[in-house]
Amino acid sequence: MTPLRQKMINDMALRRFSPKTQEAYVAAVGGLARHYKQPPDKINKQMIQEYLLHLMQARKLSWSTCNVAVSGLRFFYTQTLGLDSMFLSIPPRKKVSQLPEILSAEELERLFAALTNQKHRALLMTTYAAGLRVSEVVSLKVTDIDSQRMMIRVCQGKGSKDRYTILSKRLLTELRIYWRMYRPSVWLFSSMNPKQPLTHRTAQQIYYHAKDKAGIKKGKGIHTLRHCFATHLLEAGVDLRTIQMLMGHSSILTTMGYLQVTRKHLSATQSPLDLLEIPQNTRLPKQ
């Protein structure tokens, strides 16, 4: 490991960046260095801008991937190298706003029914029933399931915050069946090595496999189940503040975004067309 790379890692550790963020930022700088086959501290502003255009136009990477690269490069040059932020001259990119696709109750039933592997079934049910991020569900330990209080402890979720979320009675039954079959010791969902948790990638693959088997086309990744959790709670009449706490959102504005995809909220809104007294067209077209 080069001293420059170690310095960047130390700078991120001092700011308590998550391991995932550190890995992504280091990869962003490494990608730039490999592209030009030069040390990153020898690359000038024009080269950086051309590299970002290469990511967007030639490689056609998604907004989120390009944004991580921009953030990683900005941190390296401004924090690790101590250059002025004007050195980069990278304009902020407007975030692409997309509403999540929500699975219906019938689609969720098909999704879970498609799984014959109890571990996979318990994994996806836990993700949906507790509204967890993929990083949170794979990091659950056996001791995080509190059956006495019917709660699940989420340790160091996004933003390095702990929280509690609900433990459904149905999920507890599924987890007990799973525990009797697999006897997990430390991690609730371990990898092939019992001492290591399941990877994010494996959890995503389990979701994609179940979705394909159930013939479901909607929804992108396993994060869809978290979106479904929030939306279905809103439709059931749970207040936004409670959902915010269960989801671990820092701002209630994030939680309010689910109002845009809530069927109950939208269907209760009357179209202004229905308020107009328009005579019905009684003239039928000629045959």
pLDDT digits (tens, 9 = 90+) for 159-180: 678 899 999 999 999 999 999 9
Confidence of residue 282 (pLDDT cuts 50, 70, 90): low
Place of tokens 């190298």: 81
Angle at 235 between CA 234 and CA 236, to 5 degrees: 90
| Residues 213 and 114 sit within 8 Å (Cβ to Cβ) | yes
pLDDT of residue 148: 94
Q: Give catalytic residue positions.
A: 133, 158, 223, 226, 249, 258
pLDDT of residue 225: 95
Q: What is the mean pLDDT of residues 250-266?
A: 75
- pLDDT tens sequence across 36-77: 999 999 999 889 989 999 998 899 888 788 889 999 999 999
pLDDT of residue 253: 84
Q: What is the mean pLDDT of residues 236-252?
A: 89
pLDDT of residue 256: 83
pTM comes to: 0.70
Is 114 a residue whose pLDDT tops 90? Answer: yes
Confidence of residue 266 (pLDDT cuts 50, 70, 90): low
- pLDDT tens sequence across 180-238: 999 999 999 999 998 999 999 999 999 999 999 999 998 889 999 999 999 999 888 88
Confidence of residue 249 (pLDDT cuts 50, 70, 90): confident
Q: What is the mean pLDDT of the chain?
A: 87
pLDDT of residue 123: 97
Closest CA to 230 of 214, 254, 208: 254
Is 265 a residue whose pLDDT tops 60? Answer: no
Q: Residue 18 half-sphere exposure, CB side, CA atoms within 13 Å?
A: 11
| Residues 75 and 81 sit within 8 Å (Cβ to Cβ) | no
Percent of the chain exceeding pLDDT 70 equals 85
* Cα–Cα distances in angstroms (integers) from residue 79 to residues 27, 113, 171, 206, in the given order: 16, 50, 45, 39
Structural domains of the chain ordered from first start: 3-87 (1.10.150.130), 105-266 (1.10.443.10)
Is 136 a residue whose pLDDT tops 70? Answer: yes
pLDDT of residue 207: 97
pLDDT of residue 263: 65
- With a CB cutoff of 8 Å and minimum separation 6, the contacts of 40 are 4, 29, 32, 33, 76
Q: What is the mean pLDDT of residues 125-129?
A: 95
